[in-house]
């Protein structure tokens, strides 16, 4: 990617953090349209289950097979090809075209986009629009784009009791028994009603663990992990306060650790959404659905720069699966859509 962008006259800034390779590239001045994505992939798993080698790109019956073909190396290729055509047609384009590329999205996401964004913000870099190549399409190319994402907040709760023999419960304090009413209240709570762009906030218990494995020991502690996917109707601090109020009302002896992987973000309307919708309609003949569904993405970090953020990529039905694939024709079309967005925003 770097060599092809350099050939177009992009300034390349390598931005490694830890053992993560990232780069920031830009060409031109003025309002900035950045294309963002990640080069890392999830493991292929048992390669014997793959019809074609996962790291040798293979085209069969119009499909490009390979780990990351849909998520999201195909999008990255489409971005570069779109930039090549755009710069060839408009060598003196008005705005600034940029690329923000990381190799730490599928893993911990600690030394990738978040660090690049921090570095750019520290020197007052302006980012107006950002198009991320995440595979947003559901059934046909461009039928859905993501104009926001829910926030994610995880709680690691430990309820403290007193370990003892099950035959002498009066000498112990069972943290499971104590916690069940509180957990039931957490599960049944209606946290908000959502809004025009987001569904209602959901809370899900992901893990519960207690005991030594022995049938005759009352456990001393209960560990519960639960996660909130929350809308813009709530802040993470409001959720934390409500949870801890419930725990205290049930007189639990507890400790809790909170982890905030990402806050919700939304690009409700504006030039970027309009440009993406128009480009899809122009090439596909239909308008996309705007959605905030799914998990988190690196858009949560880029939105901190005040940029309008939209995710548009190929069909996501095979991502993270054996025999991941993407339509070669869709990648060609996706590249044309990306190019038209460039033409509308920075020509």
Q: Which residues are catalytic?
A: 40, 105
Characterize the bridge pairing of strands 129-132 and 32-38.
Answer: parallel
Cα–Cα distance between 129 and 31 in angstroms, integer? 8
In the numeric block, the tokens 């994610």 are attached to 152
Distances (CA, A) of 112 to 12, 50, 77, 121, 295: 16, 29, 19, 14, 18
Four-point Cα dihedral 13, 36, 320, 155, nearest 10:
90
Burial pattern 5-20, b for ≥16 Cβ within 10 A else e, equals beebebeeeebebeeb
Distance between CA atoms of 131 and 120, rounded to whole angstroms? 17
CA angle 39, 293, 311 (to 5 degrees): 40
* Integer angstrom CA distances of residue 162 from 173, 179, 200, 211, 336: 5, 13, 37, 11, 64
């Amino acid at each position: 990617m770097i060599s092809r962008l350099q050939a177009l006259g992009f300034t390349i800034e390598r931005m490694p953090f830890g053992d993560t390779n990232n780069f920031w590239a830009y060409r031109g001045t003025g309002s900035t349209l950045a294309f963002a994505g990640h080069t890392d992939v999830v493991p292929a798993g048992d390669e014997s289950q793959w019809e074609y080698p996962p790291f040798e790109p293979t085209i069969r019956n119009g499909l490009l097979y390979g780990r990351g073909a849909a998520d999201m190396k195909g999008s990255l290729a489409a971005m570069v090809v779109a930039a090549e055509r755009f710069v060839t047609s408009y060598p003196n384009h008005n705005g600034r075209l940029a690329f923000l590329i990381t190799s730490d999205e599928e893993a911990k996401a600690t030394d990738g986009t978040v660090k690049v964004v921090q570095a750019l913000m520290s020197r007052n870099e302006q980012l107006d629009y950002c198009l991320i190549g995440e595979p947003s399409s559901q059934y046909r190319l461009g039928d859905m784009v993501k104009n926001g994402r829910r926030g994610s907040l995880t709680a690691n709760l430990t309820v403290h009791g007193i370990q003892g023999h099950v035959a002498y419960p009066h000498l112990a304090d069972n943290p499971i028994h104590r916690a069940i009413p509180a957990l039931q209240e957490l599960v049944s709570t209606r946290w908000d009603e959502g809004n025009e762009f987001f569904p209602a906030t959901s809370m899900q218990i992901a893990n519960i663990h207690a005991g030594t494995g022995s049938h005759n020991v009352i456990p001393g502690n209960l560990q519960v992990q639960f996660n909130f996917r929350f809308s813009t109707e709530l802040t993470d601090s409001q959720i934390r306060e409500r949870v801890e109020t419930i725990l205290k009302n049930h007189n639990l002896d507890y400790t809790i650790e909170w982890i905030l992987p990402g806050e919700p973000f939304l690009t409700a309307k504006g030039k970027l959404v309009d440009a993406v919708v128009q480009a899809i309609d122009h090439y596909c003949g239909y308008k996309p659905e705007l959605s905030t569904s799914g998990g988190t993405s690196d858009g949560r970090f880029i939105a901190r720069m005040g940029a309008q953020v939209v995710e548009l990529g190929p069909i996501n039905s095979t991502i993270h699966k054996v025999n991941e694939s993407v339509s070669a024709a869709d990648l060609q079309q996706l590249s044309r859509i990306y190019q038209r967005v460039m033409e509308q925003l920075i020509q």
